[in-house]
Amino acid sequence: MTADSASSFRADERTAAELAELFKALGDPTRVKIIYALMKQELCVHELCIVLEMAQSAVSHQLRYLRNVRIVKRRKAGKTVYYSLDDEHVSEIFRLTLQHLEHLQED
């Protein structure tokens, strides 16, 4: 392998940083639970608090983080704010990861 051909194996700095940020967001158990719940359906903060058995302030903090990295989006209906996954890619990442975990358990 030459230095020139080796460069095609490297992610550029921006891509590496963006991937790291995404996996960092997915690396927190509370955020994983939120994403998992939102894979099922759109939920308001109150519903997420019930599902997660957590205080609203803690759930809101994690939702804010997930919004900032564009994993979830929100929709207002009157005074209620509903959250859903930003796009289908997040669900696909989770589905593939769950399949991978099942595969690991088979070994």
In a domain, 8, yes or no: no
User: What integer best gives the mean pLDDT of the chain?
Assistant: 92
In a domain, 73, yes or no: yes
Position 43 scores a pLDDT of: 98
Q: How far apart are CA 84 and CA 32, in angstroms?
A: 13
Q: Which residues pair with 106 in a beta bridge?
A: none
In a domain, 61, yes or no: yes
In a domain, 27, yes or no: yes
> Per-residue pLDDT for 48 more than 80?
yes
8 Å CB contact between 25 and 71: yes
Cβ-based neighbours of 80, under 8 Å, separated by 6 or more: 44, 46
8 Å CB contact between 99 and 58: no
Q: Which residues pair with 77 in a beta bridge?
A: 80
Q: Tell me, what CATH number does 75's domain have?
A: 1.10.10.10
In a domain, 1, yes or no: no
In a domain, 49, yes or no: yes
Q: State the average pLDDT over residues 83-88.
A: 94
> Per-residue pLDDT for 10 more than 90?
no
Number of domains in the chain: 1
In a domain, 102, yes or no: yes
Q: How far apart are CA 74 and CA 26, in angstroms?
A: 18
- Containing domain of residue 23, as a range? 14-106
Annotate 93-106 with three-state secondary structure: HHHHHHHHHHHHHH
Position 5 scores a pLDDT of: 76
In a domain, 5, yes or no: no
